[in-house]
Every structure is written in C-alpha cells, then in structure tokens.
Chains A and B, each alone.
Chain A
Amino acid sequence: MLTQRLLTSDKGGMLVLGLIALTCIVVPILNLAVPESSPFHVSTFAVTLLGKFLCYALLALALDLIWGYAGILSLGHGAFFALGGYAMGMYLMRQIGDRGKYGDPLLPDFMVFLNWQDLPWYWHGFDMFWFAALMIILVPGILAWVFGWLAFRSRVTGVYFAIITQALTYALMLAFFRNEMGFGGNNGLTDFKDILDFSITADSTRIGLFLASGIALMLAYLACRYIVTSRAGKVIVSIRDAESRTRFSGYQVESYKLWLFVFSAVLAGIAGALYVPQVGIINPGEFSPLNSIELVVWVATGGRGTLYGAIVGAFSVNYGKTVFTTFYPEAWLFPLGLLFVLVTLVLPKGLVGLIGRFKKNKSATNKEEQP
C-alpha cells in the first residue's frame, strides 16, 4: 500500500527513478567489465562526473523539498552541503595517518604546518567512520535546527529568510577561510588516501562511491515522496499557500517548517559527504553564496514543486555547465545568469512544467479531434 502511495500518479518520478537505477546497473558494468578499447567503455572520469551529478541531484532534491513544497527559499543550502562535506573530509584526513607530507601520525599536514601541537577537540572521533557518519547527519541537522528555530519562531519568511540564510553561508565561508578555525583555511582538506580502507583513487572505490550516491539519491527520493504524500506533506503545501489559514486550523506552522528544514539540511549534508571523496577536496569555496544560488537555479530550471524536477534540473544544468565550460571556461556566468532570468520570466514551472504544458496541449488537441 505504501509503494502504491509513493509511486502512483508519479509517472515522471518513476521514470527518473528508473533511469537512475538503470545507470547504477549499466555504468559499473561498462566501466569494470568492458575493456577500455571498446567504444562502450565508460571511463572512470565519466563515472566520477556522474557520481558528482548524483550528489548535486540529491542536494537539489533537498532544496526542492523546502522551496518547492513549503515555499521556504534557502540561499544557504550550500552551507549544509559543505558541512557534510567537511565532516567527511575530516574523516578522510584522519585516515591519511602518517602518510602525510610531514608524517605526523595524528596531526593532519596543515596543522603541522601551522605548528600546532595537539589535535583540536572537535577533530577527535573523526578517525572512526561511524562517528563521522553521525556527524554528517548531526552537524547540518543541528545547525538547521538552531537556525530554523530562531528564524521560524520569529516568523522570518520569504526574502528575509532567503537573505539571512545567504548571510549564514557567507559568515561560515569567512570563518572557514581562517586558519585558526582548524579546517585547513584557504586550502581546505585534501590529499585524501583512502576511505574505509579502500584506496580512494581505485576504480572499484569510485564505482562504489558512485553506487552509494545513486542509492542515496533513490532512497532520499522515496523518503521525500513519503513526506509529501503524507498528511504532513499536505499541511506543508497548505503552509506554502495559506500560512495563516493553516495556523488557524490548529497547526503549529513553525514546527512543520522546522522539521522539514532539518530533514532537508541533513539530506544536503549527506550529499556533501558523498561528494567530497569523489572530487577529492573540500574547501571554504563550497560555502560561497554563489554555490547556493546556483543550486537554486538547478531546482528552478528543473521545475520546483515536483521532486523529480529537481533531479532533472540538477542533471541538465550541470551537464550544460560541463559542456559549456569545456569550450568557454571563463564565461559560465553569462549562461548561468541568463538561465536565472529566463526561468523566472518564462519558465516558472521549469522543464518539467514545459513538458507538462506540451502534453496538455497534445491531449487537448487529441480530444478535439475525437468527436
């Protein structure tokens, strides 16, 4: 009954899920089993790129959940992504052990470089994967909880919320740039060696990470679907459309917003944690407000308010970006900026909405023809 609820009347979602599942099966085979000489071989580079896109899609899904369904535009979701990434990065740093340039068994290279004697207290425990995994969920979650509690309680909404979330990620970026914070300052965390004792550069590990990202995305999709089809999901949509009506119907609007925001932040954190081992670095640039706003355009392009739209958007914009930057590496901001303007002006429902409109027109003409 649950599967019925999650998947019926979600044709687009089923299609997207199916495609992801298919990729998760086909790509590893084409990478590992097909010889490199074959035209069907998928290079490890491509696998990593796809893995990155899957993480972006997960991040976009997280944002769509709160923006598309609850109408809360966060311009700081990149911060949760980066925090998850840093938590994973800290684990990977600790895994390096004494293989760093300075060979210190305990301290990461940058701390040795800064002449630190002891590991800061917040770096303890990150040598254990389970602890890091817990932190990947807790750190973004708790930050979102505190921040959301403060913001929603005082009814900060709309553009105000958007701007203070942007300020949040901006402040975090400034803070993480400082060497004294103990997160590697400008350079961030990098030179990772292995994850769970697998070499991070090995093809099989790459495939593993790719699969993990794909599975995480599918599970997250189903979880989001569960939320939006539940009664709580309807309350959330009601909050978006008529907040005070919902309040006067006896719902504590703040708590709905807060839990949704926390869940979304946790998803973003997981996306960041999966992203970091694939790209091999995390630095304060991930906190840049531009990243968060780029994320917004993925969702807007795909079509907000439909969960699969976010995934479609993340893939299409990032694919476009990859293609574009190979030819004009410097000028990416032009099409990105243009995309913002075009989507808001002509495509308020994104690509998904465009397809929907096209279909509607078609069925309308079909109906006319029948009688």
Chain B
Amino acid sequence: MALLKKSVCLWIALAACLIALPCAYAQPQEPDEFATLVDELATGSLSKRGKTVDAIAATGHERAQAVLHALLQGSLQTTRSTPKQVVIETTNDVYVLAANGESVAAKALGRTKRIPIHNKLRSQIKTLMAQMNLSAVDAGVRQRAVEQMISDGVDSDSIELLQTLQSKESNTDVRDAMTAAIALAQLESSSAETRLTAVKILRGSLYPEVRGPLEAIAKHDSERSIRVEAQRSLDSIDGKLKMFRLGENIFFGLSLGSVLLLSAIGLAITFGVMGVINMAHGELMMIGAYTTWVIQQAFPNHIEYSLFMAIPAAFVVSGLVGIAIERGVIQFLYGRPLETLLATFGISLILQQAARSIFSPLNRAVSLPEWMSGSLQINPAFSITFNRLYILLFGLMVFFALLAVLKKTSLGLKVRAVSQNRPMARAVGVRASWVDAMTFGLGSGVAGIAGVALSQLTNVGPNLGQAYIIDSFMVVVFGGVGNLWGTLVSAMSLGVINKFMEPFAGAVLAKVLILVLLILFIQKKPKGLFPQKGRAAAD
C-alpha cells in the first residue's frame, strides 16, 4: 500500500509539473522586483535576455517557473501598446498576466507578439528549470526533473550540478536516477577510465535513452575493455527489459484473465452449479454496465464515488432481471438444456434490442473516476494502469466472496444440495424452486458486477455482452464445469496465453488460435482441466 500511496503522490506531482503550476519551494521575494524582471524580458534586447532569465530564476518567485516555461514554449507574449504588458497565452486567445497570473481579457490587450528566444537561451532556460526542479521539496518533482534531463540529454555543465545535488539527495530513487544521468553524460567523457566506470554504472539501467550511447560505445569505443563492458551492460539491460516485458505481458494477461473471470464466474454458477445454459449472460453484464452509466448520469458531480454506488446497484438490477428470467422462462425448462439455451438466446436478443431502443445503438462512454485513471510506474520500462490493477483485484475479491457464499452460507449449502440431487434436496425440505431462483439471481447479479468492471475498460453499448459470451463459456468449459477454482485457473491462463500470442499472431488471430486450441483441448479432456469425477459425472 505504501508503494501505491507514493505513486499516487508521484502522479499528482507529475501532473502539476506538466501544467506548470507554481513550485512551492521558496518564499516569494519582493513582487516588484519579479515584475520588473518580467517586464525586462519584453523590453530588453535579446542579448541581455540571458541575464534576465538567470535573474528571474534566482528570485525563486512562485511564478518564475511558469514564466520560464511559457518563454520556452513561445507562449510568453507582449502587447504592442505601451506600457508593454507581458502575458502568457494559456490556450488559444486566453491570457493571464505573466507577473501574477491574473487573467486578462484578450480584447483589452490588442495584438500581441511572441517574445523571441534563440537556441542558446533555450538550453539555458531548460537547465535553469531543471535546477529549480532538482532542488524542489517534493521528491517526485526532483525525480521527474532528473528523468527529464536524461531524456533531453545531459550536457557536461549539468554533470557538476547533478554531482553536487546527488551528494545531498536523501531519496534513494532520485539518487539512483541522478547516478544514471551522470553516468550517461560521462559516457562521452574523453577519459577512458571515466567511461569505463560509467558503462559499469549503467549496467541494467532501464532508461530508454541509455541504449543508444551504450551501443555506440560497444561498437566504436577505442578501448577494447570498454567495448566488452559496454556489451555486458547492454546484455544486462536486455535481460532486464525482457524480464519486465514478460512481467508486463503477464500483467496484461492476468488483467484480461480477470475480465474473463468476472464474466465467466456468474456463468460458472448458473451453468456449472445449476446446469443451465444462460445465453443472456452477456446481456446481464451489459445491464450492469448501463447501470453504471445511468448512475453517472444521475450524479454527474460524484463520479469519484459512482462505482461504489454502481456495484450494488448493478448487482441488484441484473440479479432481479435474472430472477425474472428464471421464473418466467427457465423454470419450465429444467432438464432440457438445449431448449434452455435457445430460450435464453431469445431473451438475449430481446435485451439487446431493448438496450438499443432505450439507450440508442451508439456506444456510451462511462467516465473513469480519477483514482482509476493513471498508472503505477514501477520503473522506466514497466508500468501498470490503475484501472486494470483494480479490476484484477476486484475480480479476485468477487471470486473469493462467491466461493465463501457457496461454501459457508446456508444458501450455498442448499445450492450445492439441489445441484447434486434435486429430489433428495426437496425431500429434506429445501425449497428447490426458491433455491433455483436465488442461485440464478446470484449468478446474474455477479454478471452485473462484471458489467460495472467492464464499463471501466471499454465503451458501453448494446453489443457489449455478445463479445464475451463465447469466451466466458470457453473459460467455464476449459476449467471444468461445476468447479469454481477451475474457472479461476482457466480464466487466468487463457488471459495470459492470449496476451503472449498477441505480439506475433495479432489480436484477432490470437483469439482464433485460442478457440482452435480449446476445441483441441476438449478432445484430450472433455470434462475440462478440473473435472468432476465419479459415476455421477459420467452419466
């Protein structure tokens, strides 16, 4: 959790830096001095501008960063009228005063003109900004500044700066990044010894910028020993990258697996435990997803909490629809699986068309709450998006909750009793029809929850369910009907296999191949990975 919290901070800091919000690392000095300096940018000559920029940075004013950033971007502008006003164009035709950030009407300014800079000045500003960020209070900002330097290229001037800062740096992550940055710059050193150390330091470094220079050294360096070391460093980088790419694939596979798990687990109950083929299962997921959308429309100001409302709501809505389906149609068809399949298929068509008529055939975008967006950056080569991570965790939670319901509650006991021997269960006083309705409602409700999760990954539309129904059945069949653990293993392994096949087979072909493999798998093990054994299962 600590790691998670830290990364959230990091993300916020990052966002702050991107939109050039003021840095709060120093107390503001005389405002007048700052304003004068800003004015000088407009009035002074191009040659003097370098000094002015230095001076602005030296003030440590809270808006210094913003002004310099604007100057670098070319959005720092000056009016043609006198007295000249220096403004920042934040977006098209929206201006704020450079000195204090107050907004001004575009009309009042008249025509404006960009304050020009040249290349030397540009790199000077960059360095200055980097320095300011490098000594920021927030470690995340510092880290980001170092990474920015690495990707921009570290010049020899910065080496010293970095070295001084590094000795004072308290945060190990930032220190490591600085070490990498220094070493990267030192690769170009004329001293063979320095290069050698740098090459060694960069062993296993995951910054994408490191590869190019290292490769150059490995090929062209005058010293043979350095070439060898550089190659070793490269190999180690490749090894690590491979590992992280593997990690990423596994993560994406598990994430896909969790989606499959969520969509299949409700089915595993209705199909596995009750023996009912519910082709409308996908549409129950669709209902859950639409429930999320409706809730977000109803409470547009509480998007952050919408999911917490949507989960129970979707469970109830889909569950009720499921119970209605069971009472209305399925209860008359027990023991006739093919008829059940057809009837529920009919229901799925009706539900799809209903969604089309009510919500329009177009896809609806469900918004992502802020805490679901963004990603957890583990290192430069490996990041995990929060929505996928949470859905993975959520899928597992739902799984274990369901397992607990079936194993520990009296409903679960009754469900298992009815599924194993209907007449006997009835004889000992279990109301089989009530249990059927509840089980079906439970499976349908879980489908609704799966729909909520899905709405965070894809658009919500009438065809949402269709896309998952075959996959879900495959998961259940692959895992072994009537075995929830089998469903878990099969969902996860199918997800991972799918992701590993994608790079060289393409998404569509991967899917086709998986289907073919599954069909072949059923040849070997017709009852799935974890079959129910015994005489009862054979009949």
Q: Within the complex, are A and B direct neighbours (CB within 8 Å)?
A: yes
Write the residues of chain A forming the contact surface with B, with a CB cutoff of 8 angstroms: 73, 147, 150-151, 153-156, 158-160, 162-164, 166-168, 170-171, 174-175, 177-178, 289, 293, 296-297, 300, 330-331, 333-334, 336-341, 343-345, 348
CB distance from B275 to the nearest CB of A (A): 9
Q: Across the interface, which residues of A come within 8 angstroms of B353, CB to CB?
A: 331, 333-334, 337
Known A73-B338, A345-B332: A160·B522 in contact at CB below 8 Å: yes
Q: With contacts defined as CB atoms under 8 Å apart, how many contacts are there between chain A and chain B in the complex?
A: 115
Give A174 to B507 CA distance when docked, in angstroms.
Answer: 10
Q: Is the CB of A178 within 8 A of B346?
A: no
Write the residues of chain B forming the contact surface with A, with a CB cutoff of 8 angstroms: 277, 329, 332-333, 337-343, 345-353, 356-357, 470, 473-474, 477, 508-509, 511-512, 515-516, 518-520, 522-524, 526
CB distance from A132 to the nearest CB of B (A): 25
Q: Is the CB of A167 within 8 A of B348?
A: no
Q: Across the interface, which residues of B come within 8 angstroms of A159, CB to CB?
A: 277, 337-338, 341
26 A–B contacts, CB within 8 A, in A order: A154-B523, A156-B522, A156-B526, A159-B341, A160-B526, A164-B519, A168-B519, A170-B515, A171-B511, A174-B508, A330-B357, A333-B352, A333-B356, A334-B349, A334-B353, A337-B345, A337-B350, A338-B350, A340-B345, A340-B346, A341-B346, A344-B339, A344-B342, A344-B343, A345-B329, A348-B339
Give A153 to B508 CA distance when docked, in angstroms.
Answer: 29
Q: Across the interface, which residues of B come within 8 angstroms of A338, CB to CB?
A: 346, 350
Known A289-B470, A336-B349, A339-B346: A175·B508 in contact at CB below 8 Å: yes
Instruction: Across the interface, name the chain A residue whose C-beta is closest to B481.
Output: A160
Q: Is the CB of B342 within 8 A of A174?
A: no
Give the residue among A151, A167, A334 with the most B Cβ atoms within 10 A.
A167
Q: SS class of chain B's interface: helix, strand, loop or mixed?
A: helix
Q: Is the CB of A163 within 8 A of B511?
A: no
Q: Is the CB of A340 within 8 A of B520?
A: no
Q: Is the CB of A177 within 8 A of B350?
A: no
Give A158 to B539 CA distance when docked, in angstroms.
Answer: 13
Give A158 to B339 CA distance when docked, in angstroms.
Answer: 11
Q: Is the CB of B526 within 8 A of A155?
A: yes
Give A283 to B273 CA distance when docked, in angstroms.
Answer: 39
Q: Is the CB of A337 within 8 A of B347?
A: yes
Task: Please pick, from A151, A158, A164, the residue contacting B338 in the complex, using a CB distance under 8 A.
Answer: A158
Q: Is the CB of B523 within 8 A of A150?
A: yes
CB distance from B362 to the nearest CB of A (A): 13
Q: Across the interface, which residues of B come within 8 angstroms of A160, CB to CB?
A: 477, 522, 526
Q: Across the interface, which residues of B come within 8 angstroms of A151, CB to CB?
A: 519, 522
Give A132 to B347 CA distance when docked, in angstroms.
Answer: 40
Give A337 to B523 CA distance when docked, in angstroms.
Answer: 33
Instruction: Across the interface, name the chain B residue whose C-beta is closest to A158.
Output: B337
Task: Please pick, from B341, B349, B350, B526, the residue contacting A162 in the complex, using a CB distance under 8 A.
Answer: B341
Instruction: Across the interface, name the chain A residue whose C-beta is closest to B354.
Output: A334
Give A153 to B524 CA distance when docked, in angstroms.
Answer: 10
Q: Across the interface, which residues of B come within 8 angstroms of A330, CB to CB?
A: 356-357
Instruction: Across the interface, name the chain A residue whose C-beta is closest to B356.
Output: A330
Q: Across the interface, which residues of B come within 8 angstroms of A337, CB to CB?
A: 345-351, 353
Q: Is the CB of B522 within 8 A of A340?
A: no
Q: Across the interface, which residues of B come within 8 angstroms of A348, CB to CB?
A: 339
Q: Is the CB of B342 within 8 A of A340?
A: yes
Give A178 to B512 CA distance when docked, in angstroms.
Answer: 11
Give A300 to B277 CA distance when docked, in angstroms.
Answer: 18
Known A159-B338, A334-B350, A337-B348: A167·B522 in contact at CB below 8 Å: no
Instruction: Across the interface, name the chain A residue whose C-beta is closest to B337.
Output: A159
Q: Is the CB of A167 within 8 A of B329?
A: no
CB distance from A181 to the nearest CB of B (A): 10
